[in-house]
Amino acid sequence: MPTTTMRYREALNQALREEMQDDENVFLMGEDIWVFQGAFKVTQGLLEEFGEKRVRDTPISENTIVGAGIGAAMAGLRPVVELMTISFSLLALHQTVNCAAAIRYMFGGQVKVPMVIRMPQGAGHQLGPTHSHSLEAVYLHVPGLLVAVPTTAADAKGLLKAAILDDNPVIFIEHESLYGQRGEVPDNGGPMRFGEAAVRREGDDVTLIGISRMALTAEKAAEELAADHEVEAEVIDPRTLRPLDLDTILESVRKTNRAVVVEEGWPHGGVGANLAALIQEQAFDYLDAPVGRVTGADVPMPYSKPLEQAAFPHPEHVVQAALATFRDV
């Protein structure tokens, strides 16, 4: 299939444009997505093409934005709501958890909430604790929500198209450091399936599972492990956390007999804790060492650049954790 090289943000923009062209019920809501074209320029050019009715600037009130999106979705529209950062999404937890995630269940399936809540997360831009955290574990915890964490430009486009078409509320988490990353995107690519992990690199010695940007960090670590330690790591990118492609992860662990989960979020109650529990429950007899975990530091994200860099994982941390699985035998 022919492909085009584009940035992650451009792939998201293309997905929005194509789905808005295909379905007039798809519309956008968010702060500064209109004339300013989004904090990360994902909505660039969409106002000119689709007009004010379908590209709507909102007040600075996450609770209101998400609540209005829920109402629109219940009435038959397909809103794509943009929040400026996942940290601000905490202001809309009631709407998201108590309403969007539960309405279809409470109404016995008579009402659907087909909406997407897009939001960036992650450290590396010296934006301090209120703009830099990784909170995917908060939404992973909630039944009724789907959770996507795309890493590549191709996945960003394919999963966003799938999210818009889905009849359930989708938490769509983008990483701030990925918006400028380039990648090959299929020219006529359609929506991707949720719940299908990607094997980014094959190997026989240890399984590295990277969440969001940490999938790229895990790939870099795998290259270093091969070059410097003759350890061939297999790298798994889950791509979606709800639903989770646990089968692909377990298949890899049963082959390598070792696993390390890499995430940017906090260690307590994180995605890695959940995956480590699932792996030891369902692949315990195959493990030659405890499941390793590499996480962000258990602190609010520092503003200081050196401290911020020390507060989230880098390839050397993953290498150390992978090598530790051999010492524990």
Read off the pLDDT of residues 305-318 as tens digits, 9 standing for 90 and up.
Answer: 999 999 999 999 99
Does residue 175 have an active-site annotation?
no
Q: Is the same domain home to 110 and 28? A: yes
Read off the pLDDT of residues 103-146 as tens digits, 9 standing for 90 and up.
Answer: 999 999 999 999 999 999 999 888 888 899 999 999 999 999 99
Q: Is residue 191 part of a domain?
A: no
pLDDT at 327 (0 to 100): 79
Rounded mean pLDDT, 206-218: 97
Q: Which of 186, 220, 255 marks a domain boundary?
A: 186
pLDDT at 85 (0 to 100): 93
Q: Is residue 245 part of a domain?
A: yes
Q: Is the same domain home to 168 and 255? A: no
Does residue 136 have an active-site annotation?
no
3-class DSSP string for the chain: CCEEEEEHHHHHHHHHHHHHHHCCCEEEEECCCCCCCCCCCCCCCHHHHHCCCCEEECCCCHHHHHHHHHHHHHCCCEEEEECCCHHHHHHHHHHHHHHHCCHHHHCCCCCCCCCEEEEEECCCCCCCCCCCCCCHHHHHCCCCCEEECCCCHHHHHHHHHHHHHCCCCEEEEEEHHHCCCEEEEECCCCCCCCCCCEEEECCCCEEEEECCCHHHHHHHHHHHHHHHHCCCEEEEECCEEECCCHHHHHHHHHHHCCEEEECCCCCCCCHHHHHHHHHHHHHHHHCCCCCEEECCCCCCCCCCHHHHHHCCCCHHHHHHHHHHHHHCC
Q: Is the same domain home to 84 and 17? A: yes
State the catalytic residue, choosing from 131, 133, 174, 219. Answer: 131
pLDDT at 34 (0 to 100): 80
Q: Is the same domain home to 46 and 163? A: yes
User: What global pTM score does this model have?
Assistant: 0.95
pLDDT at 302 (0 to 100): 92
Confidence of residue 158 (pLDDT cuts 50, 70, 90): very high
Q: Is residue 192 part of a domain?
A: no
| Residue 273 to residue 258: CA distance in whole angstroms | 16
pLDDT at 38 (0 to 100): 81
Q: Is residue 193 part of a domain?
A: no
Q: Is the same domain home to 207 and 140? A: no
Rounded mean pLDDT, 147-160: 97
Q: Which of 143, 165, 186 marks a domain boundary?
A: 186
Q: Which domain holds residue 153?
A: 3-186
Q: Is residue 178 part of a domain?
A: yes
Judged against a pLDDT cut of 80, whether residue 258 lies above it is answered with yes
Q: Is the same domain home to 82 and 177? A: yes
Q: Is the same domain home to 156 and 12? A: yes
Read off the pLDDT of residues 160-194 as tens digits, 9 standing for 90 and up.
Answer: 999 999 999 999 999 999 999 999 999 888 999 99
Q: Is the same domain home to 157 and 9? A: yes
State the catalytic residue, choosing from 31, 62, 82, 174. Answer: 62
Q: Are 160 and 107 in contact (CB under 8 A)?
A: no
Which of 103, 96, 101 has its CA nearest to residue 119?
Answer: 96
Q: What is the CA radius of gyration of the chain?
A: 20
Q: Is the same domain home to 135 and 203? A: no
Which of 117, 114, 99 has its CA nearest to residue 168?
Answer: 114
Q: Are 276 and 293 in contact (CB under 8 A)?
A: yes
Q: Are 7 and 181 in contact (CB under 8 A)?
A: yes
The CATH number that applies at residue 111 is 3.40.50.970
Confidence of residue 1 (pLDDT cuts 50, 70, 90): confident
pLDDT at 201 (0 to 100): 98
The CATH number that applies at residue 230 is 3.40.50.920
Which of 18, 239, 10, 19 has its CA nearest to residue 115?
Answer: 19
pLDDT at 328 (0 to 100): 54
Q: Is the same domain home to 30 and 169? A: yes
Q: Is the same domain home to 182 and 251? A: no
Q: Which of 186, 215, 240 marks a domain boundary?
A: 186
Judged against a pLDDT cut of 70, whether residue 329 lies above it is answered with no
Judged against a pLDDT cut of 60, whether residue 248 lies above it is answered with yes
Q: How many domains does the chain have?
A: 2
Q: Is residue 117 part of a domain?
A: yes
Q: Are 14 and 44 in contact (CB under 8 A)?
A: no
Read off the pLDDT of residues 6-43 as tens digits, 9 standing for 90 and up.
Answer: 999 999 999 999 999 999 999 999 998 988 888 888 99
Read off the pLDDT of residues 65-86 as tens digits, 9 standing for 90 and up.
Answer: 999 999 999 999 999 999 999 9
Q: Is the same domain home to 96 and 230? A: no
